[in-house]
A = this chain, B = another copy of it.
Amino acid sequence: MTMTMDVKHCIIELEKTALDRWCRGDPSGFLEISAADVVYFDPFLPTRLNGWRELSHYYESIRGKIFALHHEMIAPLVQEIGDAAILTFQFISSGDDHAAELRWNCTEVYRRQTEGWRIAQTHWSFTSQGTQEE
């Protein structure tokens, strides 16, 4: 039970740390914890990215261009399946107090590897309220 709680805490903290860097324009937080075989979906791409090299190429193209002053992880849930951990959460980000909020769904599948937990699958999308202004 203690180990299970630790895994959940660990996974959520890994994600929050990478998100903090992401929201300051730094994609390296995610690249450092993404596996060689990571696959990736987001709503700006026409197809899936396959592997760390493709993800890195994409992230380098937007390095320094994304900033969110305010961001919040909503209702994170971790489901453990052996050496896999499925993290699902919603995410709200906005540029400043007056900017439109973006509302996201996210699924990360982490895999326990010898070097630590690594992301094997990332899926970002907009909720039904994704780009509504409030």
Contacts and interface: CB of A to CB of B under 8 A. Distances in A.
Interface in A36-51: 37, 39, 41, 43-48, 50
A107 B90 contact: no
Copies assembled: 2
Interface stretch (A10-18, A58-66, A126-134): A126-134
Interface residues of A, number: 34
A81 interface: yes
Nearest to A41: B105
B127 A46 contact: yes
Interface stretch (A21-29, A94-102, A117-125): A117-125
A75 to B, nearest CB: 7
